[in-house]
Structure 1
Amino acid sequence: MKLRVITVGFICACGVLFSHAQTPVEITTKDINRAKELVSKMTLDEKLSLISGNDDGMSLRPIKRLGIPALQMHDGPQGIGQGIKGIMFPCGMLTAATWDRSMAKLVGESLATDFKNHNTDVILGPGVNIYRATLCGRNFEYFGEDPFLASETAKQYILGVQSKGVIATIKHFAANNMEWGRMDVNSNVDLRTLNEIYLTTFRKAVKEAKVGAVMDSYNLLYGLHTTESRYLNIDLLRKKWGFQGIVMSDWGAVHSTVATANGGLDLEMPNSDFWKPEKVKEALAKGLISEATINEKVQHILQTMSAFGVLDKDESKKAVPHEMPELKAAALKIAESGITLLKNEDDVLPIAKQKFAVIGPNADKIARGGGSGQVNYYSAVTPWAGIKKAFGKQASFISDSKYKTQLKNAFFTDASMSHPGFKAEYFKNKNLEAEPALTRTEENPSIANDTKMPEGFTNANFSVRWSGVFKAQKDAAINFIITGDDGYRLIIDGKTVCNEWRDQAAKKASYKLNAKAGKTYNVAIEYYQGTGDQKFELDLFEYDLNKLGNILKDFNTAVVMVGYDTDTESEGSDRTFDLPDPQNELICNVASKVKNVIVVANSGGGFNFMPWIYNVKGVIMAWYPGQEGGTALANILKGTVNPSGKLPMSIEKKWEDNPVHDNFFSKNGEKEITYQEGLFYGYRGYDAQGKRPLFPFGFGLSYTTFSYSDIKAQPLGKNRLRVTFKVTNTGKRAGAEVAELYVCPLKSKVVRPVKELKGYEKVYLEKGASKTVTIDLNEDAFSYYDVETEDLVPDNGSFRILVGPSSDDLSLQTDVNF
């Protein structure tokens, strides 16, 4: 069997070589002058028509009189959105887990190619908010916990996108690190932490990648909506970083007319609300906004359109979307490079010739995160489909229908047990207030966007109470799995056992009832719909573990596919630390019956491994690997691809260990989040506390082994350094190693983290081969943000350079002085 190694500078089927070096697209004097000339010819109404989105919510209006075409946008970071057919690439966390600049660039180039096939000018991505804590429901879109890794990944992604003439949009600016209350929560983060951690990726995207657009976030920062923040949008973006592109709002993030107009925002999306022409004209007439300010916004939009060729595009050209083989190949390569091996006890992987079972809720579905980043893919390979193709009859799929019993028709409307179903009471308000407007019997609680609502009800601002009675026929663990958008709660015998009563995107929650034979249970399920999508589902079932044991008795090895999905990890809500129920129970039961258990998890970050981590032999973090993820996973399980992904974040043993645990949620229900941990989150926090996480930042295993030696440090001038060292493949297979370099200040003017990532390189080596790696460090690698000068300043003194395979394994060291 030939081992396939993912090589640097991947050559796709169309013969294009993807390399690190890339000249960014810049807005030139010619573009600026062209835009100025157009602005001078525009009427006020034409100008105002251009600074807010069109009726479709995804474009800017054309001005045909002046030959200005529409500017077409689409989500999102992993593929084209809005339900359009496209290629679904791996999520942002997997891209970061490649620790490979060429792969990040390949993502950008491939996305842009697909977007251009759809005649789209702007990608609403990448999302680069820092992985501050595990529970953020949108972490999967981002690039991890470290600002250096995130900024290098984002830079290459953006260069890749914009090399194809498509405008990238970096988002969400700034300090948007949770989904709970994101529309109106106020983020309080000290200036040093803000600039050293949370703004780093935006700064590099603007200054080095020349990103074409920046999207302001929903949240407030220092008491102001970011769309109104002169500090962010003018002082930093325009004056300090030299940004010349478009500053747009997130969809619905504008809350004022005058403050946003004067706060540096150029574009209100998805359409005009606060920037309706009549509102802006009224402010102009009162002298609250100047026409020069409006001109400047239009100027920014038009000069960006000019630089990227949008002003000259052929609008008669028809979109030709199709599933390009080279883009499928790119999606596969990226997935193979980022899937991360976390445990391989007794070399259980790659799987040899023994028969094995494939089981679990994510085994035969395409797992992905929820929200605006979802992609309507042309085709996709599930894990089971990939495994079946790679292993043939060696693998057996065990459907959950073989050991899971759905409890249908178990409920009755009242204690008489004479009328099957649920009593459904509908209220014309969100709080179940007053008398119900409608009462009827329903077979099962269920509401969807296409549900025909009762007469007199719309798809907004209503609530429902479903109530029913059931009698347990035997002792059984009954699982209630509830999915709702917006709020819901489960009440059993008068006790609220599940409470998600809040505005939110679709979110799944669970409760396990240990029912006793002969006992009657009164169940009430309450749900409200605010606005937007409506969804409610109830899945009621029990596992028959005796059946499962009988099925597994003939297997010595099992692959258990678990994790999250669109309803459990999504934009609009934060997720649980525990895997969705009853997945931990399933893993533990399989591990009690099968000797070699390999857990494969789909997730946008860490979760609770502790119920089973010491009882399984193998663990693979598959992230959300995109449409070709099933093939990529199968290739890694079989050993035709050697895993080389590494964690872009730390994974804690328990949520309470996380340095942000005490600061993630607001106190007393206030819409206020204070980043009290400051710089000391993620591995920086674990170092400061002297704690070891379960899996450290930068960790990932391979089917081969590597050694490090011969570190040298050569000064290159003031506060600049060249570090060289040797990496050797000491194992029996070709493979790739990510060499990580951290800088440790031995003496500092200010309190600093113990160490910080400042360089990395992915090295591809045949067995027995060695390579000398060179990493150059500039002044930023030794600097901190000085709140007095409001800038990064070098911290002259002594530093220790640390090199190794993860943040917790840095055996190569050398000291330098500046």
Structure 2
Amino acid sequence: MSDRIEQLADQMTLEEQVSILSGEDFWSLPAIARLGIGKLRVSDGPNGARGGGSLIGGVRSACFPAGIALGATWNVDLLQDIGVALAEEVKSKSAHMLLAPTVNIHRSVTNGRNFECYSEDPILSADLAVAYISGLQSQGVGATIKHFVGNESEIERTTMSSQIDERALREIYLIPFEWAVKKAQTWGVMSSYNRLNGTFTSEHNWLLTTVLRDEWGYDGIVMSDWFGSHSTVETVNAGLDLEMPGPPRDRGQKLVDAVRSGAVTQATLRKRVIAMLRLMERAGSLDDHRPFEEHANDRPEHRALIRRAGAEAAVLLKNKGVLPLKGDGSIAVIGPNAKIAQIMGGGSAQLNAHYRVSPWEGLLKAVGEDRLRYAPGCTNHRFEPVLRGPFTAEYFANETLSGAPVHTEIQDDAQAFWIGHVGGGKVDPLHFSARISGTFTPEHSGAHRVGIYAAGFAKVFVDGKLIADAATNWTKGHTFFEEGCDEVVGVAQLEAGRAHQVVIEFVTKDFGSLGLAAFAAGIGLPLGDKDITEAVRAARDADTAIVFVGRNGEWDTEGSDLPSIELPGRQNELVAAIANANPNTIVVLQTGGPVEMPWIGSVAALIQAWYPGQEAGNAIADVLSGVQEPSGRLPQTFPVRWADNPAHSQDHEVYPGFEGKVRYEESIFVGYRHYDRLGLTPLFPFGFGLGYTSFALSDMVVHDAGFEADGDVAVGVTVTNTGQRAGSTVVQFYVSDDASSDPRPAKELKAFAKVSLDAGETADVTVKLDARAFAFYRERARHWLVEDGSFTLRAGLSSADLPLSAQLTRKTTLMLPV
């Protein structure tokens, strides 16, 4: 700690000290001009640095692949490069910290936020998080790893208590955070919304002080998730340094009073202040007095990195010789995700991307328009397509739409997410009304569906007639982080080519947990049997059919879990019909996790492309055409059906939660550990992925001279590219405890290495394992334990393909501290 920090803390008044322990507004802390302390600013991540604050609109930003896509790369070097690039993005938004990475574990396949997280496995998540944080902080931008801890579902997440035993916490859920602290020295940790075993994580002394600071030696700051602080004295005393956002709800004068009364001691307050000043010094905000400016820097090198990462994330799950695309035959491009670029999930990770490349656009550049024919087939949206503008928005400084508007502006489309600065700053952001007016000109005549959902009271009028009413009987639903209602849909007969008048009326309402106002309005014309028939005709007439299906950010989103893992709408029907019409059917799947695939036996090839960022279409076309190798490997097990997942249960307390509790009954048996335990064969195992070449492993060598003394082992294998072209693979190393006194998984991933080789090339790969790789957490004694007896090391290319093994033995036990 520098002398300057100590001196500043000593010079600050009580009120000044308290002021930097909460936000001034949604994205920044207050400056202290008297002492020359600049304003610390943060920006949402993790797949970009959002400009403008709001989730909708704002200054444009580069959109990188989603977390699960980065997890599928299994490439720590790539994650470090992305961290460096994101630091540049953060700086372009005049910010000092990125609210990222997200490392919660894929406990349930239905978690709406899985797309934002890396994996079901703690070691894969931890390794990638360390690389991401290291890259980011190497450029002087702080990371804020989140959400600490137990936020594995979006259902009632602001109040739900995650009931997790300590062994599962230590062995699964805490590992990415522990590595971020010990190996990457992260500057920030964000507490989760939920309770952990009955106590809000933002005021959980065992979590924030005993584990994080005392055991791990953490010297960074802990900030609340937005509106995730619920008390004054309890949060400060437990170890929460920063309440966000501002203006403060639990701090400010309340904290001043608590210090003066002795409920919070001067010593405790000073710890929080010192932590904040240390962060400001590290991130450079102490002396940053530049005017706030945001820039949309569309950097060519970031475009190239995003495109490369998107292609590397693609996982080839099946290929009967049809990929990469060959010759100059005709291609039918089919499906709801073909001409719409699904680049990211929904929620706080979303941003206003510089551009979006759709798969259709990518294929146009790759193979030329003459070879392509398009048919949508069906839709997959959760809500009616948002109306595109321009729209005129009139704001009223009341909740009755009365009098003259106090501010008028133009917006791009019929949606808004209002936080902080609203209506030109002329209205109270939680108490106002607005009228949004524009037109909609349909391409076809017919009965159109008009939808509206809102965190507030909203109505849609078409040509002066009320069509959709989300005000009169407003009921809380699953939109806008559970602050909004579910979509209300009406029907309007519209005429092709005619500009129909559309007016949306919006009035704020009292919020539950998160202080925001928002709405989205859309109009769509349903597709039917004739559209599937047209798609089948296009497929039958083509040499190859590529079907682009999946979900989008309406389904894979913060604030809402998935109702199932079936493809939405009629997509399963569409894929089956296309496969029946054309034996060379390729499916490109874009989702934030697994789906059930009743058609898997009928298609010739399958690629999981996730949400690969703004270069989506180019990255996908690179893989389809063979310009890039699909070198991704699954970071999450794909079950045959949802019921096979470890969190699926007839007991609602196990999932989705009951009476405020969600019980992690499976404990340490998450992901592939669960399938191994029950002998279930998944659709595709953890770590699986094909390529355009092949690899063989041989000659496993174990160096265990130090195993008895300190638990250290080095394991090596030889990797050979046995195919006809260059490519890459991921060598995975698993550990099994052959006879443990406590139940342990059949095997656990403990190390991995991504290897790129030319055709016929051979390389030796060696990884090092420390004692923790062989230990389990003994909850009764509160230490890690490596027992005496035999262990088996396995190496292979997925959790179900481990051809090499070796056994090693200990004569004594080894106890390791927490």
Q: TM-score, normalised by structure 1?
A: 0.82
**d(CA) in 1 for partners of 2:22 and 2:695?**
54
CA RMSD across the alignment: 3.1
* 1:668 to 1:328, Cα distance in 2 relative to 1, 3 A: closer
1:546 to 533, 550, 560: 533
Alignment of 1:26-41 (within 5 A): 29-30=1-2, 33-41=3-11
**d(CA) in 2 for partners of 1:404 and 1:305?**
48
**d(CA) in 2 for partners of 1:486 and 1:529?**
7
Q: Tell which deviates more after alignment, 624-633 or 682-691.
A: 624-633
Report the AA paired with residue 614 of structure 1. G
* 1:769 to 1:507, Cα distance in 2 relative to 1, 3 A: farther
Offset, 1:333 = 1.5
Offset, 1:667 = 7.1
Q: Residues 353 and 394 of structure 1 are in contact (CA less than 8 Å); yes or no, is this contact kept in structure 2?
A: no
Q: Which residue of 1 aligns with 2:369?
A: 393
Q: Which residue of 2 aligns with 1:45?
A: 15
Q: Residues 361 and 561 of structure 1 are in contact (CA less than 8 Å); yes or no, is this contact kept in structure 2?
A: yes
SS at match of 2:740: coil
* 1:712 to 1:245, Cα distance in 2 relative to 1, 3 A: same
Offset, 1:500 = 9.3
Q: Residues 126 and 177 of structure 2 are in contact (CA less than 8 Å); yes or no, is this contact kept in structure 1?
A: yes
Offset, 1:318 = 5.8
Q: Residues 722 and 777 of structure 1 are in contact (CA less than 8 Å); yes or no, is this contact kept in structure 2?
A: yes
1:790 to 777, 782, 785: 782
Alignment of 1:409-808 (within 5 A): 448-449=415-416, 484-485=453-454, 502-505=477-480, 531=511, 532-535=517-520, 537=522, 539=524, 541-543=526-528, 544=530, 545-576=532-563, 577-610=565-598, 612-662=599-649, 666=655, 669-717=658-706, 718-808=710-800
Q: Deviation digits for residues 732-788 of structure 1, max 9, x if unmatched?
A: 111001000000111112110000000100111100111111011111110111213
Q: Residues 509 and 580 of structure 1 are in contact (CA less than 8 Å); yes or no, is this contact kept in structure 2?
A: no
**d(CA) in 2 for partners of 1:598 and 1:536?**
34
* 1:799 to 1:291, Cα distance in 2 relative to 1, 3 A: same
Q: Residues 341 and 645 of structure 1 are in contact (CA less than 8 Å); yes or no, is this contact kept in structure 2?
A: yes
Q: Which residue of 1 aligns with 2:359?
A: 383
**d(CA) in 1 for partners of 2:720 and 2:449?**
52
Q: Deviation digits for residues 6-41 of structure 1, max 9, x if unmatched?
A: xxxxxxxxxxxxxxxxxxxxxxx33xx321111000
Q: Which residue of 2 aligns with 1:11?
A: none
Q: Residues 358 and 395 of structure 1 are in contact (CA less than 8 Å); yes or no, is this contact kept in structure 2?
A: no
Q: Which residue of 1 aligns with 2:425?
A: none
SS at match of 1:74: strand
SS at match of 2:526: strand
Q: Residues 107 and 157 of structure 1 are in contact (CA less than 8 Å); yes or no, is this contact kept in structure 2?
A: yes
Offset, 1:482 = 6.5
Tell me whether 1:220 sits opposite 2:212 in the alignment: no
2:321 to 331, 338, 346: 346
Offset, 1:460 = 8.4
Q: Deviation digits for residues 451-506 of structure 1, max 9, x if unmatched?
A: 9xxxxxx99899xxxxxxxxxxxxx9x99896745699xxxxxxxxxx99635337
Q: Tell which deviates more after alignment, 326-335 or 726-735.
A: 326-335
SS at match of 1:39: helix
2:349 to 360, 366, 373: 373
* 1:574 to 1:332, Cα distance in 2 relative to 1, 3 A: same
Q: Residues 168 and 212 of structure 1 are in contact (CA less than 8 Å); yes or no, is this contact kept in structure 2?
A: yes
Report the AA paired with residue 615 of structure 1. S
Report the AA paired with residue 380 of structure 1. R
Tell me whether 1:124 sits opposite 2:104 in the alignment: no
**d(CA) in 2 for partners of 1:765 and 1:507?**
52
**Unmatched 5+ stretches in structure 2:** 382-398, 400-412, 419-428, 434-445, 458-473, 490-505, 512-516, 811-818
* 1:405 to 1:546, Cα distance in 2 relative to 1, 3 A: farther
Tell me whether 1:104 sits opposite 2:79 in the alignment: yes
**Unmatched 5+ stretches in structure 1:** 1-28, 407-428, 430-445, 452-457, 463-475, 489-498, 512-526
Offset, 1:508 = 8.2
* 1:529 to 1:642, Cα distance in 2 relative to 1, 3 A: farther
**d(CA) in 2 for partners of 1:560 and 1:815?**
46
SS at match of 1:707: strand
Report the AA paired with residue 190 of structure 2. M
SS at match of 2:128: helix
Offset, 1:70 = 0.4
**d(CA) in 2 for partners of 1:508 and 1:363?**
27
Alignment of 1:90-169 (within 5 A): 90-169=65-144
Offset, 1:669 = 4.2
SS at match of 1:803: strand
Q: Deviation digits for residues 710-748 of structure 1, max 9, x if unmatched?
A: 001011412111111101011111100100000011111
Q: Residues 666 and 672 of structure 1 are in contact (CA less than 8 Å); yes or no, is this contact kept in structure 2?
A: no
* 1:309 to 1:549, Cα distance in 2 relative to 1, 3 A: closer
**d(CA) in 2 for partners of 1:243 and 1:667?**
33
Offset, 1:537 = 4.3
Tell me whether 1:68 sits opposite 2:56 in the alignment: no
Q: Deviation digits for residues 522-548 of structure 1, max 9, x if unmatched?
A: xxxxx9987432235464524213333
**d(CA) in 1 for partners of 2:534 and 2:197?**
57
Offset, 1:166 = 0.1
Q: Which residue of 2 aligns with 1:195?
A: 170
Report the AA paired with residue 352 of structure 2. N
Q: Residues 112 and 164 of structure 1 are in contact (CA less than 8 Å); yes or no, is this contact kept in structure 2?
A: yes
**d(CA) in 1 for partners of 2:255 and 2:219?**
23
Report the AA paired with residue 383 of structure 1. P
* 1:403 to 1:139, Cα distance in 2 relative to 1, 3 A: closer
The alignment covers a number of residue pairs equal to 707
Q: Deviation digits for residues 146-173 of structure 1, max 9, x if unmatched?
A: 0000000000000000000000000000
Q: Deviation digits for residues 361-398 of structure 1, max 9, x if unmatched?
A: 11122212000101211123211111110110354241
SS at match of 1:562: strand
Report the AA paired with residue 164 of structure 1. Q
* 1:277 to 1:596, Cα distance in 2 relative to 1, 3 A: same
Q: Which residue of 2 aligns with 1:261?
A: 236
**d(CA) in 1 for partners of 2:488 and 2:340?**
20
Q: Residues 284 and 290 of structure 1 are in contact (CA less than 8 Å); yes or no, is this contact kept in structure 2?
A: yes
SS at match of 1:358: strand
Offset, 1:287 = 2.0
Q: Residues 97 and 283 of structure 2 are in contact (CA less than 8 Å); yes or no, is this contact kept in structure 1?
A: no
Offset, 1:795 = 2.8
Q: Deviation digits for residues 662-715 of structure 1, max 9, x if unmatched?
A: 167657841110000111121000000011110000000001011110001011
**d(CA) in 2 for partners of 1:710 and 1:585?**
47
SS at match of 1:728: strand
Q: Residues 350 and 636 of structure 1 are in contact (CA less than 8 Å); yes or no, is this contact kept in structure 2?
A: no
Q: Which residue of 1 aligns with 2:436?
A: none
Report the AA paired with residue 396 of structure 1. L
SS at match of 1:158: helix
Offset, 1:580 = 1.5
Same amino acid, percent of matched pairs: 38
Offset, 1:312 = 3.5
**d(CA) in 1 for partners of 2:769 and 2:294?**
45
* 1:317 to 1:482, Cα distance in 2 relative to 1, 3 A: closer
